[in-house]
Amino acid sequence: MSGPAEDLHDWGVAELSRQLAERTVSSVEATRHLLQRAQSQHDLGAWLCIDADRALAQAEAADARRQAGESSPLLGVPIAHKDIFVTRDLPTTAGSKMLEGYRSPFDATVASRLSAAGTVTLGKLNCDEYAMGSANENSAYGLAHNPWDRKRVPGGSSGGSAAAVAARHIPAATGTDTGGSIRQPASFCGITGIKPTYGVCSRYGMIAFASSLDQAGPMARSAEDCALLLSAMSGFDERDATSAQRPPQDFLAAMTARRDGADAARPLAGLRIGLPKEFFPAALAADVDGAVRRALAELEKLGATLVDVSLPRTELSIPVYYIIAPAEASSNLSRFDGVRFGHRAEHYTDLLDMYRKSRAEGFGAEVKRRIMIGTYVLSHGYYDAYYLQAQKLRRMIADDFQSCFGNCDLIAGPVAPTVAWPIGDQDDDPVKAYLADIFTLPASLAGLPGMSLPAGFGEHGMPVGLQLIGNYFNEGLLLQTAHVFQQATDWHQRAPAMEQSA
């Protein structure tokens, strides 16, 4: 076996899997190459932990399994996990000082399933504290930078995952999406990411932000790569009460299935793509609008039919989400009290004082803000006025989608109103960051699958993503449409120019 190719880091999951199967490269060689790249670009801020010795040991074991005749597509493929998934052999912080030094006694289901599939885990990736944020500026361990322009944010909360994949440190990573935290950073960093239907991937061992919204998903170079990871990640888990009782699926087979009536020239023939007028408001940045519309024109060339639809409660998704999500966060984060695990204040007078000081010291400003909002809307006298009304509107938003799906198969539009903004641009106005989630929140509230795929570039050479939203458990159609688009375009193959740190 010859030495690893110099451009090995440009291989996605599918290509690396093929090279491993053909024995042109070993998992140890690939792992060592990617470790060196990640460590030499440490100033990107994408990583919170890298364990080279453990990764190389896993790679050696993967090579031995291949030598013995195993041929799993993910066997020996290096990845990394967003630091919201607990891992037994790596520290887990959720981007918070509250969990500094914490070691979980077990692995999250998503992590254990990918490990069983043979992946090699290089380490843990930066994220907004407890996944609360849209820019990765809320991490207690420093912010991550966008590889396309280090003065700009990578998006959040899965910003470290998006940055590491875009910078070619790893071919794929796990992420989580509560209100857009896979799709938005994927768009900002020019990679592909999918949030499956709520319940497709187990939440067991995924540190909870908003339990009725949080969902795990893969972030990678292409739809093909995402299909390979999602196949391993999905499936019913009896330890998760919100897990959908569906068996694991072969999303790669669903992605490559031939459509009825399709041919080589028009592989998307018969596909109806709905365009909600609310996803194309006057305030949408011109560069984003242009890139998305050119991508839609490409889908038309490939045989799809564009249909005008409406999601009339799109604007209401912001107040609905920022009532429901903080309310659930307030409840979920009450367990971090300094008693059982996590940060405990060093000096206190009594139990109540210990609670107060431990939480004041351990949580960051954004987490405290959302806990306060959530506690308020759940308090006596305000529950009916805020939380209950938000839940009613959430059902109406879900109903709006079902009305649309009577006229189309998928829904398309932008992921975010603008390209990635400069670091610190929204520090003085958190509401401005909340408003940036307007196109991703509706699908999250409805529990629908959605994905972002690279669709071009906007101002300052920054990536623009196209969002596709499907009906419940229709990930296969999403991946199939994205795959056809990516076979006809090369946006997903573009990489930022990266210089190695000293």
Q: Torsion angle, CA of 225/264/413/420, rounded to 10 degrees?
A: 50
Active-site residue identified among 27, 157, 317, 330: 157
Task: Give the C-alpha separation, 264 to 258, whole Å.
Answer: 10
Task: Give the C-alpha separation, 390 to 110, whole Å.
Answer: 30
Active-site residue identified among 181, 330, 358, 452: 181
Q: Indicate the residue type of 502.
A: A
Residue 333: closest CA among 132, 180, 109, 179: 132
Instruction: Give the E-state strand segments of 313-433 in sequence order.
Output: 410-414
Task: Give the C-alpha separation, 15 to 316, whole Å.
Answer: 42
**Sheet arrangement for strand 463-470:** 47-50, 120-125, 78-82, 172-177, 215-220, 192-195, 450-457, 463-470, 410-414, 272-276, 305-309
- What size, in residues, is the chain? 502
**Residue 432 is encoded by which pair of tokens?**
């401005």
Q: Show the CA angle centred on residue 422, arms to residues 417 and 425, nearest 5°.
A: 85
DSSP string across 126-175: --SGGG--SSS---TT----BTTBTTB---SSSHHHHHHHHTTS-SEEEE
CA distances from 272 to 245, 312, 394, 398, 479 (A): 29, 20, 25, 19, 15
- For CA atoms 74, 78, 79, 85, the dihedral sign is positive
Task: Identify whether 452 is a catalytic site residue.
Answer: no
Active-site residue identified among 17, 27, 72, 82: 82
Cis peptide upstream of residue 157 (ω within 30 degrees of 0): yes
Task: Give the C-alpha separation, 180 to 201, whole Å.
Answer: 16
Task: Identify whether 97 is a catalytic site residue.
Answer: no
Task: Identify whether 82 is a catalytic site residue.
Answer: yes
Active site residues: 82, 157, 181
